[in-house]
Structure formats: C-alpha cells, structure tokens
Amino acid sequence: MTDTLSNPTPPSALTGIKVVDLSRILAGPWASQMLADLGAEVIKVERPKVGDDTRFWGPPFVKPSTASQPPQAAYFHCANRNKKSIAIDIKCQQGQQIIKDLVAQSDVFIENFKVGDLAKYGLDYAELKKINPKLVYCSITGYGQTGPYAHKSGYDAMIQGEGGLMSITGEQQGSPMKVGVAVVDIMTGLYSCNAILAALMARHHTQCGQYIDMALLDVQTAMLANQAMNYLTTDENPSRLGNAHPNIVPYQTFTTQDGALILAVGNDSQFSRFCHLCQLNEFAADHRYSTNAQRVLHRDDVVSTLAKKIKTQTTQWWIAQLELISVPCGPVNTLEQVFDHPQIKHRAMVKQLPNDDGDLIDVVASPINLSATPVQYHSAAPELGQHTYSVLKDVLNYDDASIASAYQLGVVA
C-alpha cells in the first residue's frame, strides 16, 4: 500500500527558500506544505501549549495528548508534513523579536490572522518589509483586506454557502449541500502557493518583495468557473443538478444493476458509440439528441432513456464494455477502494513518513511530479514546538543563556 522513503535524495526546486508560517487551520498550511514539499524550509509558528487548532480536530488522532503535548489529529497531518514547529508567544515583545529575527533571513511570510491583528504586534507587512524589503508576505482571510466585510472571520463551509457553491451542489429537489472536503480552503491554499511562487519569480526583476491579499470569498467566486460564466451570460441562477453536468449530457451518475456508474460523454461521437452499444441507434440519430446542445435541451428524455438501459447490467460490465469503445466512465469508489486502486498504488500516492518518535505514518502524497527536482518527503507533521530549540540555536544563533531565559519566561515552548 505504501512507498517508503529512499536516500540519497535529488535537489529540490525551492532549495534555499525559507518560509515563516503563522497560519493555521487549512488554507495557509496547505500553501506552506506545498512549498515545503517543493524543498522550501518552512518554520511553522504555533501558540505555546495549544498550537494549530487542527491538532484538536479529531477523532481520529494519530497521537493522543500527553502531559506536555496536545493531540495530533489526522486532520492536522493532512497539511503539515515537512515542516518545523516552533512555539512562540507573539503577544510578548521577546516573542515578536524572534519572529522579526526569522523574517530578516526569510523569503516568505504567511499568515491568516484577522485584518489588522498582526499590526498590534509589529508583524504586519508595513513593519516587516522594513526589516526585509525582499519579503513576500501572504495574508489569507475570509473576505480580504478591504471592503465592507473585511473585518469578518471566514470559514470554509460558510464561504461555500455565501459564495454560491452550495446553491449549485446537491440534488435538484433537495437541500443545498457543501462539498465533502474543505474545497475552498484547499483552493485558496493552491492559489496562495501560486501567488507566492509568482512573487518569488518577480523578485528577480523587481529586486523587492510584495504583499499578497488572498480571500476565501474571492477564491470561491473564481472557482465557480463555467457556472459563473453561465450566469453572467444568461442572468439566470444555475439550478442544482445532483451529479449531472450543467453543460454536457449525459455526464452524471447512473444506477447500475449492482451499484453506480459515472458516465462522462464528452462529445457527439462518444454518444453515438454509447448508443450503438445500447442498441439505441435510432435514438442517437434523432435530431433532438444527436448533438450535445440538443441533448442539454432535452436532458430529461436522454437521461430517462439511458437510465433504463444502464440499470440492466453491472457496473463492471459497463466499464469493461465502454472502455472497449473509448467512452469515458468509472465506478463510484469508497476511500478503501481508492487506496486499493491499482493506479493509485502504481503512482505511489501514499507515503510513509517518520514522526518524532521514528514511527512511520501513512500520508497522501503530493500529486506534483517534477522530473529533475521531485517532491521530497522528509517528516510527518511535527510535535508542537519540536524544533523551537534548534531554530533558536542553529538558525538564529541565539546563545544558550538567551534561549534558557526565553523558555523560563514562557516566551517559547
């Protein structure tokens, strides 16, 4: 099921890039994990004794809480591999100075505090760029740094609703539904990582960093994609279609004799071949169904006719027959079936990473495959403050007396 680590490792794409990450939950950590996977050194700054909120988002837990450590939820492990964790109290001046000392030698700063919060600690972009003019500073919030909603907090599920995604997700006669994973957070992480990489590239010709303002609601609106353009073109709100596609027919799930099938007919020739297999040649030749545009207009007729045929055979029968005639289709798998899938196994989409105890933890791999500078997997998500001492000592060159004082005062943990 898993692919273990191997040595030696080739060079990484972002070797030499250092990231200070004050973000928590999912969008920011997703972006910084991508940077870490690509070879950047990511120093995750967490609150002493508490850490990232997602450490508690369980069960399930990879590791339970102890007298000295909060728990490690499986959720936390999905977005925090390959990082170093330092526990710093940024509310005190000494803690703020540690962050500033890190920023002085870093390339990227990521945060998802409420608008204006970090200015109270002297950790806003205006202050940090004085320390490091080449700093790329990425702020992630629910609604952005400007506008009438800028002061509000934003969470994935509420943004899915407010940003229109729930209105087009779910069965036609059912209630609005959210997507089964925090897709807005994940997409915001992806957009943020792209923006950071673009800003790092821009430094080559501007010789300075810049500020990145990312908003979950902006991302949600952008990712409406064809549905947004459908609305802007027609001024009509798209309706929920369950598992059907608003612009392609047939492109949805169908009930088979023993389960469900995804039929994804992308063009008219595929539809013709499918109808030939079903002995529906006259149906395919009918002008009401022969082109996709007409099939969309006559969706109910097409779907009801095909549904009767598809229900007569098993899922695997349809997959075998449709693959022979190059009509896209697939099963509806459980996660157990996904991770037992021969293609997922071949692509090594599960890795085993060591935690601080040396135990190996299964994690989902990055989908990025680079030929010369591949993604590398060094460690599972860290314990809270696991690297505080080493960062203060080896990265910042603090002396032992200063480090001991910081621990004693509770500035670090």
Residue 362 falls in the annotated catalytic set: no
User: What interhelical angle do 27-37 and 183-206 show, nearest 10?
Assistant: 50
Catalytic residue among 107, 124, 185, 218: 185
Cβ(327)–Cβ(335) under 8 Å? no
Where in the sequence numbering do the catalytic residues fall? 185
